[in-house]
Amino acid sequence: MKYRSRETRRMAAFAGLLAVAVLVLPVGEAAAGTIRSQEHSFTPVKVVEGLEHPWSLVFLPDGRILVTERPGRLRIVRDGRLEPRPVGGLPQIVARGQGGLLDVVLHPAYGENGLVYFSYAGPGPGGLGTEVARGRLAGDRIEDLQVLFRMIPKTESGHHFGCRLVFDRAGYLYITLGDRGEMDRAQLPGDHAGSVIRLFAAGGVPPDNPFVGRSGWRPEKFTLGNRNIQGAALHPRTGEVWMHEHGPQGGDELNVVRAGVNYGWPVITHGVNYVTGTKIGEGTHKAGMAQPLHLWTPSIAPSGMAFYGGDAFPRWRGDLFVGALRGQMLVRLRLEGEQVIGEERLLAGVLGRIRDVREGPDGRLYLLTDARNGALVRLDPADPAVR
């Protein structure tokens, strides 16, 4: 295959070693007893179960919740109940390896236009690639579907699709992509893989994107040198997009998305090759390539993240929460500007692989567990003073 690498084969072998945890408690009951953390006590409560490898969620203004399932279904949770019929009208989605239906977000003016955006693995010449589409939610269907972005080139690899979607305060859409398990692609100017893409909300390239007008460069690219970005969120004070990405075997990174920055993969990394443990690239530092704000070694396999700003857990305000797959936990990071000054690991081994984390309109944190019988779990405060 044109882009297949040794790391792709090692990733396939490693993926088979990951355990999948399944929640079996009745819906509405506590998924665990009271958890005491450094700042708050809380109780995980299962909202719904029966989700097949859920990947992302978003809250609608009318109280409903949209949840994506990686096999290609968009589900509705209404009044604590999973609607039996998936949402219709989605594009052709291919569920293979780590690909399928991935992120879902609302247009910043959703109340006026009803537009829902979602990312997924779509077919095309050469195989599969990450795509982004939008449409209007009308009842239980997506109407007026438009495909806004298609990754080029597509390949048969089943690894590293990304893909989180974030709108910034100016209304630009950021799309985070993986290297498709073919690591050299992350440094190629004419390849979308291993980068962050920045578009207008309706599609099209903003003229101030950093590589516009440069010969051989994809103008949609906003960054390069990224391995597999599965978490992104807008900083509530600065308005900048933050992201995290998987390292190969250690070296998971937390970064801020900035125009034209090369984040180094695979030239520099703090991780090592799977199985052999040998060095990747040239080392851990190189001029012109960014260093991460924070690292995890060994890897926690981060996926999904959210800044917290609610009232349910007042001493968590301003903290960054990261779900972990391999670590099967929720990580809380205390921040001072762009410096991580503390880390707390919560729910280790309690719920299983945490795929996504979001703050709800009620100020609670909501988690998705990545399993064949996955669940939507809410964290309720157990501190008497803040209930």
* Residues with catalytic function: 160
Q: Give the contacts of 323 (CB within 8 A, at least 6 positions apart).
A: 231, 302, 303, 304, 305, 330, 331, 354, 355, 356, 357, 367, 368
H/E element, 103:
strand 101-106
H/E element, 303:
strand 302-307
Q: Is the distance from CB of 54 to CB of 382 less than 8 angstroms?
A: no
Query: DSSP alpha helices (H): ranges in 94-204?
Result: 110-113
Category of 285 on φ-ψ map: left (φ > 0), alpha (ψ -120 to 50) or beta: beta
Question: How many angstroms separate the first and last alpha carbons of the chain?
Answer: 56
Helix (H, G, I), strand (E, B) or coil at 240: coil
CA gyration radius for the chain? 20
CA pair distance 329, 110, nearest whole angstrom: 32
Q: Is the distance from CB of 163 to CB of 178 less than 8 angstroms?
A: yes
CA pair distance 157, 160, nearest whole angstrom: 8
Tell which residue, 2, 138, 66, 11, has the closest CA to residue 358. 66
